[in-house]
Amino acid sequence: MYPYYFKLALISLRKTPMLSLLMVMMIAIGIGATMTTYTVSYMMSKDPIPNKSAHLFQVQLDSMDEIYGDGKTLPTMISYQDAQALLDSDVPKYQVAIAAIQQRVSHEANRHLTPKSLKVRTTTSDFFSMFETPFLYGSGWSKQDGKDAAQIAVLSKETNSWLFNGENSVGKTFKLGADTYRVVGVLDSWDPLPKYYALPHTAFTKPHDLFIPFNTQVKNELFSQKLVSNYCWKKPDDESFSSLLTSECMWVIFWVELPSKKIHQQYQSFIDNHALVQQSLGRFQNRIYNKLVPLKQYLIDEEVVSDDSKMAVWLAALFLVVCLLNCMSLMIAKFHAKAGEVGLRRAIGASQQDIIKQFSIELSVVGTVGGLLGLLFAKIGLISAANTYSYLHSDLMQMNAPLIIGTVVLAVISSLTFGLYPIIRASQMQPSSQLKSL
Amino acid sequence: MLVMKSLAKAFYTDDIKTQALHPFDLTIQQGEFVSIIGPSGSGKTTFLNIAGLLETHSSGLYTLDGKDVAELSDKQKSAYRNEKIGFVFQSFNLIPELTLYDNVDMPLRYRRFNREQRHQRIMQALEQIGLATRKDHYPTQLSGGQQQRVAIARAIAGTPTVIFADEPTGNLDSKMAQGIMSLLKDINTSGTSVIMVTHDNTQATQANRVIQIKDGQLSEYSQSQQAIA
């Protein structure tokens, strides 16, 4: 019967083209607006590394001698001296200290290439394994090279294209500030969304242009205040870089991968012991309160998906409801006009269920066309949003397959939900009263 | 086949009760051709709607083929209307967007016949009314008489036991009306009961039994000479 109902649906829609168009447009506009905002919100909040997000934890230490915030939250950074102490642990599968600098980069041999000031991620060797970065050429640096503060780097694909025309640049050198660095690896396209490992306000920007060892930053005394969140609850002794390293200033982000509960417990003990030792040395005076924040919790705590974004989704959903209510009134008008046909079909043997099925198919067709058109509207909305907010990650404005399917399904379910009342009402009327209107 | 005992129908509007049909007894046997006559507003169509299961009665007993219709669910009533009853209306009630073929096909679809069975029945019905060659035409391309023939084809395609015809010639001129009457008589001759509402006494007397409704009261009017088929 369903192919028959489908045929009847097409005939019915052709019979009232203007009404059908209005219904489709109502659904399409509502769906388009909702899915535009929902896509951005969904892409913001999706799990950036689903295969291991449950095992990634950010280390947060209360090294202060005062209450921070509401007493429950802690800074998302730790001090350099704590980072160095934690790096000595062999409990985590991987552990990564992260900071950032901005430096002038140039090609040693190619004088025609205009130097650029690039953002440089400084990190430890586990970074590439822990965050599963894909490599186009070479690899990350070894633990030893990291410890030795070697003048080596991993380039992003874009930086390699700019510096070395996209060729395999492993072994080649370039200038970072005044120093020469050797390329050990080139990343393939890698654009995690959100960029979970760094500061929350940079979650929807591209990864930095190149990566150098954390210790190399320290050795060369490189520091860019504007690229790190440096929380100095206690002033350093002086302005020097060495004072920064021994100070209580918190500017290093620290992540660990803990593959099991047992290892998690071991590592919690390790950082608590570290805090106790430090307490005996006069630090950590406030309390022993150290947290291993799971990645997903970190994204929630840091409000990577802003309340404004969530509010926009609710407002768009409300708009969809308004559109659907309008559509519902059109459907009531349509089914009122079709009362005679309903009466006739009931008279010749259609049950209430047959009528509901027939018109549900018609509504599904309206919903599907509305959904497809809504998809187009959402795409246009996302393109214009991408143009307006060009500094944001372009993937935020992309619908993936589940969202595309979800859009059409939502349109069909919405139109069925809101069209069900007029259909049921029409099917429950006495056929004799409807027959008069054919 | 059709037995009504103390059957009555009343409509209620706010606190006002309108007795459309006063309690009456009626039995119609299989194969009868019965005319229902009476002035406008007398309750003829209400009677037909109740008899055709398009409307429920207020009180009394109505059995169709031995089954108390009050006990039938909506689905069962729909199945009864589909299998045992055929309707012919004054204004034809064809769907203008569907071809003659598809209009006749409608009740067969709800019978869940397969494509071949439906095609056979549709063509047989269209041939019986003489419009098989115009199966792909639309109702608006036909005259009133032809449209009513298609409505009859739709009613008989499912080989019902009874046809309820509500003023089937009301919108037709006398020549076309006579053609429709002949068709109904032919159908009756083949064993299908026909219960026809009309306000035309000449046509009414072509039936083998005439029932008069006046102010909601039913009474036997006369007995025609025509033998029960």
Q: Let me know if residue B155 belongs to a domain.
A: yes
Q: B49 vs A432: CB contact, 8 Å cut-off?
A: yes
Tell me what pLDDT residue A397 has: 75
- What's the average model confidence in pLDDT over B92-111? 94
Tell me what pLDDT residue B224 has: 46
Q: A347 vs B75: CB contact, 8 Å cut-off?
A: no
Tell me what pLDDT residue A437 has: 63
Tell me what pLDDT residue B50 has: 94
- What's the average model confidence in pLDDT over B15-40? 90
Q: A435 vs B93: CB contact, 8 Å cut-off?
A: yes
Q: A354 vs B91: CB contact, 8 Å cut-off?
A: no
Q: What is the pLDDT of residues A291-300, one digit of tens each?
A: 999 998 898 8
Tell me what pLDDT residue A199 has: 79
Tell me what pLDDT residue A390 has: 66
Distance CA A186, CA A211 (A): 10
Tell me what pLDDT residue B229 has: 31
Widest pairwise Cα distance in chain A: 95
Tell me what pLDDT residue B201 has: 85
Q: In the structure encoding, which two tokens stand for residue B102, read together? A: 């598809």
Q: Which residues in chain A touch residue B91, judged by CB atoms under 8 angstroms apart? A: 438
B95: closest CA of chain A, how far (Å): 7
Q: Let me know if residue B227 belongs to a domain.
A: no
Please tell me which residue of chain B has the smallest CA distance to A353.
B75
Out of B45, B81, B91, the one facing A349 most closely (by C-beta) is: B81
**Res. B228: pLDDT tops 50:** no
Confidence of residue A209 (pLDDT cuts 50, 70, 90): very high
Tell me what pLDDT residue A325 has: 86
Query: Domain range spanning residue B70?
Result: 2-220
A27: closest CA of chain B, how far (Å): 26
Please name which of A242, A208, A216, A245 lies closest in space to residue A230, comparing C-alpha atoms.
Answer: A245
A393: closest CA of chain B, how far (Å): 52
**Res. A146: pLDDT tops 90:** yes
A-facing residues of B in 124-183 (CB < 8 A) are 154, 158
A-facing residues of B in 192-221 (CB < 8 A) are none
Out of A341, A348, A430, the one facing B87 most closely (by C-beta) is: A348
Q: Which residues in chain B touch residue A345, judged by CB atoms under 8 angstroms apart? A: 106, 110
**Res. A248: pLDDT tops 80:** yes
Q: In the structure encoding, which two tokens stand for residue A325, read together? A: 């209510």
B148: closest CA of chain A, how far (Å): 15
Q: Let me know if residue B225 belongs to a domain.
A: no
Q: Let me know if residue B228 belongs to a domain.
A: no
| B110 in A contact zone (CB under 8 Å) | yes
Is A160:A104 a contact under the CB 8 Å cutoff?
no
Tell me what pLDDT residue B96 has: 93
Q: Let me know if residue B226 belongs to a domain.
A: no
Q: A348 vs B82: CB contact, 8 Å cut-off?
A: yes
- What's the average model confidence in pLDDT over A108-135? 92
**Res. A385: pLDDT tops 90:** no
Count how many pairs of residues, chain A against chain B, have C-beta atoms within 8 Å: 66
Tell me what pLDDT residue A230 has: 83
Q: A430 vs B54: CB contact, 8 Å cut-off?
A: yes
Q: Which residues in chain A touch residue B111, judged by CB atoms under 8 angstroms apart? A: 349
Which range, of A130-139, A299-308, A336-345, B102-111, averages the lowest pLDDT?
A: A299-308
Tell me what pLDDT residue A156 has: 96
| B76 in A contact zone (CB under 8 Å) | no
Q: A15 vs B97: CB contact, 8 Å cut-off?
A: yes
Q: Let me know if residue B180 belongs to a domain.
A: yes
Within 10 A of B165 (CB to CB), how many other CB atoms are there?
27
Name the domain count of chain B: 1
Is A254:A188 a contact under the CB 8 Å cutoff?
no
User: 3-state SS string over chain A?
Assistant: CHHHHHHHHHHHHHHCHHHHHHHHHHHHHHHHHHHHHHHHHHHHHCCCCCCCHHHEEEEEECCCCCCCCCCCCCCCCEEHHHHHHHCCCCCCCEEEEEEEEEEEEECCCCCCCCCEEEEEEEECCCHHHHCCCCEEEECCCCHHHHHCCCCEEEECHHHHHHHHCCCCCCCCEEEECCEEEEEEEEECCCCCCCCCCCCHHHCCCCCCCEEEEHHHHHHCCCCCHHHCCCECCCCCCCCCHHHHHHCCCEEEEEEEECCCHHHHHHHHHHHHHHHHHHHHCCCCCCCCCEEEEEHHHHHHHCCCCCHHHHHHHHHHHHHHHHHHHHHHHHHHHHHHHCHHHHHHHHHCCCCHHHHHHHHHHHHHHHHHHHHHHHHHHHHHHHHHHHHHCCCCCHHHHCCCHHHHHHHHHHHHHHHHHHHHHHHHHHHHCCHHHHHCCC
Q: What is the pLDDT of residues A42-87, one digit of tens each?
A: 777 777 888 888 999 999 999 988 777 777 888 999 999 999 999 9
Is B53:B34 a contact under the CB 8 Å cutoff?
no
User: Greater confidence, A124 or A400?
Assistant: A124
Tell me what pLDDT residue A305 has: 67
**Res. B163: pLDDT tops 90:** yes
Is A139:A128 a contact under the CB 8 Å cutoff?
yes
Out of B49, B97, B110, the one facing A348 most closely (by C-beta) is: B110
Which range, of A331-340, B140-149, B178-187, averages the lowest pLDDT?
A: A331-340
Q: Which residues in chain A touch residue B55, judged by CB atoms under 8 angstroms apart? A: 430-432
**Res. A234: pLDDT tops 50:** yes
Q: Which residues in chain B touch residue A352, judged by CB atoms under 8 angstroms apart? A: 74-75, 78
Q: A347 vs B81: CB contact, 8 Å cut-off?
A: yes
Q: A350 vs B93: CB contact, 8 Å cut-off?
A: no
Q: What is the DSSP string of B87-136?
A: EE-TT----TTS-HHHHHHHHHHHTT--HHHHHHHHHHHHHHHT-GGGTT
Confidence of residue A312 (pLDDT cuts 50, 70, 90): confident
User: What CATH number did the domain enclosing B60 receive?
Assistant: 3.40.50.300
Confidence of residue B227 (pLDDT cuts 50, 70, 90): very low
Tell me what pLDDT residue B146 has: 93
ipTM: 0.90
Is B152:B131 a contact under the CB 8 Å cutoff?
no
Q: What is the pLDDT of residues A10-53, one digit of tens each?
A: 999 998 899 999 999 998 998 888 888 888 777 777 778 888 88
